[in-house]
Amino acid sequence: MSSSRMLLMYFLQLLVGLATTLVMVQGQGQLMRVGFYSRTCPAAESIVKQTIQTHFNSNPSVAPGLLRMHFHDCFKTAGPNLGLRGWEVIDDAKTKLEAACPGVVSCADILALAARDSVVLTKGFTWNVPTGRKDGRVSLATETSNLPGFRDSIDVQKAKFQELGLNTQDLVTLFFRYRLYNFTTTGNGADETINPLFLAQLRSICPENGDTARRVDLDTGSASRFDATFFTNLKNGRGILESDQKLWTDATTKSFVQRFLGVRGLQALNFNVEFGKSMVKMSNIGVKSAANGEIRRICSAVN
């Protein structure tokens, strides 16, 4: 999964100016803020950053994997979470933090910081991350049912975002094979919104009876860089997932895609800036406080 693709279905946007040096968020009786660990574990953010950098140097694909994990942050054996990557990176950072500051830094905060650092490593903009979350005591597979699906209609996707206080701009800011051969019962069987030349390219990569486990970059032409090329691909009919391409064909979301593309006559949006704002908004959903959370010893397992 490409780094830019993660922006699609991964919840985002809020009232945080990136130039602000201190951001405070009230979450269920707990005050989160930028620099939460400045006294209790001053090296926390640098330890996370250095750990992500080390793993990224060995395997750049950990960057989009960590960004996706921040979105899914739930029960790793649930259907929508199959294929998540990066658990070993988070556990490595946790091990180092436990050695430096035992029982202080939560896994939820490590993941929020790791997502930001992953974006920066793939040439995206940075943003301030409010910290101070606690980890949940229970992980439920049923909680993944509200994750946007790759075949969801735009109305369903918007409803799932709205349930968590996120709007249509958040949806656009964040957010196969069946599309190539079995999408329709007439014609060539492909989704007609796919650019014909791109369809031929995809079919050559994914023949009808070929390897179903083969990976395809979901942000063609910019797979290793965090940028707004994804939206250009949608305009040109080169979105891989059905839910992606719908962002261009649905009128309510198309205008936001056009604003990210700088279409004349519309108020332009800077994708990198809006992404940082939305990441903060997403990371404030369901924050756990000391009253209903904990500090896990191992991030990939409930204590």
Q: Please state, in angstroms and rounded to a whole number, the distance separating the CA atoms of residues 40 and 37.
A: 5
**219 marked as binding residue:** yes
**73 marked as binding residue:** yes
Q: Please state, in angstroms and rounded to a whole number, the distance separating the CA atoms of residues 87 and 91.
A: 6
Q: Please state, in angstroms and rounded to a whole number, the distance separating the CA atoms of residues 67 and 47.
A: 18
- Annotated active-site residue 72? The verdict is yes
Using CA atoms of 247, 250, 256, 257 in order, give the dihedral in degrees to the nearest 10.
40
Beta partners for residue 31, in sequence order: 26
The closest of 111, 112, 93 to 101, measured between CA atoms, is 93
Beta partners for residue 33, in sequence order: 24, 131
Catalytic residue, candidates 28, 41, 61, 72: 72
**211 marked as binding residue:** no
Sequence-ordered alpha helix ranges (H) in the chain: 44-58, 62-72, 87-100, 107-121, 154-162, 168-174, 177-181, 196-205, 229-235, 242-249, 251-261, 271-283
Instruction: For residue 94, give the 3-state DSSP assignment.
Output: helix
**244 marked as binding residue:** no
Amino acid at 267: Q
Which tokens hold the place of 58? 């060995």
Q: Please state, in angstroms and rounded to a whole number, the distance separating the CA atoms of residues 200 and 7.
A: 26
Annotated binding site for substrate: 148
**Residues forming the active site:** 72
Annotated binding site: 73, 148, 219, 227
Annotated binding site for Ca(2+): 73, 219, 227
